[in-house]
Amino acid sequence: MDIAVIGLGLIGGSLLRALAGAGHRVFGYDSDPATRLVARAAAAQAPGGTGWQVPDGVAQSVRPSPGQPVELAVLAVPLPAVRPVLAELVAAGYAGLVTDVTSVKGPVRELAGEYLSVPGDPPAGFVGGHPMAGRETSGFGAADPALFTGNPWALCLEEETRLPAWLTIAALVTSLGARVVPTTAQAHDRAVAAVSHVPHLLAAALAARMATDPLAATLAAGSFRDGTRVAAAAPALIASIVGGNAGPVRQALDAVLADLAGARGALSQPDPISALRPWLTPGCAARAGWPPAASAPEELPARRDALLHLGRLGGWVTGVALDRRSVSAAMPLRSEPVSPAHPGRAG
């Protein structure tokens, strides 16, 4: 395929390298001129035939030759940059497939509806996406074509999404080794609020608490180190990710706070040790059984309802057979959780 990747940070840069390495003709653009220079120099050093081109604008990236638009544009920019980039796509007359890799899907879905719809019609060529593949590092210099291998990549299948568009992008993403999770913007945003955004808030609160006592900072060990690791991420970045998903994060945070109120109650019992044990048990069982093993892939008809059902059950697509209108799909194995009797680190 001919593909444009707009935004060449860690995700966009990794995607550029992975797609070019897989034989696609790729055009990458970043609004930062220095990043474009670095990306051009890296292309020149790529093994024969696996380089990419770095035009000087969004329009030139999606329409590299007169009359020859690319088939897919990937928006790999932060949420605040999605609107201006969509406006540039429209201004360039681009009408091909569009996907994105932004951490929150509801707001991007709305923007796509606003910019990519023919009046009265849904945005036919848009499919929202989110690769779950972060790193401590960032920027094009940290880009790694293997970043997506074995990791989940949420791909939104909404009422207005055209199934052939979804399958085309799913085929591309699975060819990079990612696990495509069929979902909706609403279900995605609710899930990542619970397992990604609220953890950032808890980490920040724990780290800030440590700072009030030098003795605590000196005695802090393993449980603190891991529980606060993501708190070191830049506040501006995390605020845009978490604040961009404010509604679902509020709901998930409320649920966690209500649960912690239960722990607070247990600690006030005459025998807090006995009271706390049953409170701790569900979390232990959940974490001891995570991540679950995967079932062997099975063939599944590439139907909207079957795909969304798969995603709701925690399953994912490992490959797409476009000619047979089917996918291969795997599921988390409902094994008994690994025995919670192994004590783990209490540090």
* φ, ψ of residue 151 in degrees (nearest 5): -100, 155
Q: Report 188-247 residues binding its own copies (CB under 8 A).
A: 188, 190-192, 194-196, 198-224, 226-244, 246
* Residue from 114, 136, 298, 299 in contact with its own copies (CB under 8 A): 136
SS3 327: strand
- Minimum CB separation of residue 74 from its own copies in Å reads 18
* Residue from 69, 134, 297, 319 in contact with its own copies (CB under 8 A): 134
Q: List Cα–Cα distances, 243 to 136, 139, 205, 229, in angstroms.
A: 20, 22, 16, 19
Interaction mask 251-280, its own copies, x per CB under 8 A? -xxxxxx-xxx-xx-xxx--xxxxxxxxxx
C-beta closer to its own copies: residue 163 or 191 = 191
C-beta closer to its own copies: residue 225 or 324 = 225
- Minimum CB separation of residue 334 from its own copies in Å reads 9
The strand pair at 152-156 and 179-183 is best described as parallel
Interaction mask 30-69, its own copies, x per CB under 8 A? ----------------------------------------
Q: Report 78-117 residues binding its own copies (CB under 8 A).
A: 103
| Residue 175: burial class (beta carbons within 10 Å; 0-12, 13-18, 19+) | middle
Q: If you search the block for the tokens 């990236």, which residue do you land on?
A: 61
Angle at 164 between CA 161 and CA 165, to 5 degrees: 60
Interaction mask 163-182, its own copies, x per CB under 8 A? ----------------x-x-
C-beta closer to its own copies: residue 175 or 240 = 240
Q: Can residue 29 be called a binding residue for its own copies (CB under 8 A)?
A: no
C-beta closer to its own copies: residue 9 or 21 = 9
* Residue from 57, 84, 283, 301 in contact with its own copies (CB under 8 A): 283
* Mutual angle of helices 185-192 and 106-116, in 10-degree steps: 150
Q: List Cα–Cα distances, 180 to 81, 328, 330, in angstroms.
A: 25, 10, 10
- Minimum CB separation of residue 300 from its own copies in Å reads 16
C-beta closer to its own copies: residue 97 or 155 = 155
CB 312 within 8 A of CB 345: no
* Residue from 285, 304, 306, 319 in contact with its own copies (CB under 8 A): 285
C-beta closer to its own copies: residue 27 or 316 = 316
CA-to-CA distance for 291 and 136, rounded, in angstroms?
21
- Minimum CB separation of residue 100 from its own copies in Å reads 15
C-beta closer to its own copies: residue 195 or 321 = 195
Count of residues that bind its own copies according to CB under 8 A: 121
* Mutual angle of helices 185-192 and 246-267, in 10-degree steps: 40
- Nearest CA among 132, 131, 137 for reference residue 10: 137
Residue ranges with strand state E in 13-54: 25-29
| Length of the chain counted residue by residue | 347
* Residue from 59, 95, 124, 132 in contact with its own copies (CB under 8 A): 132
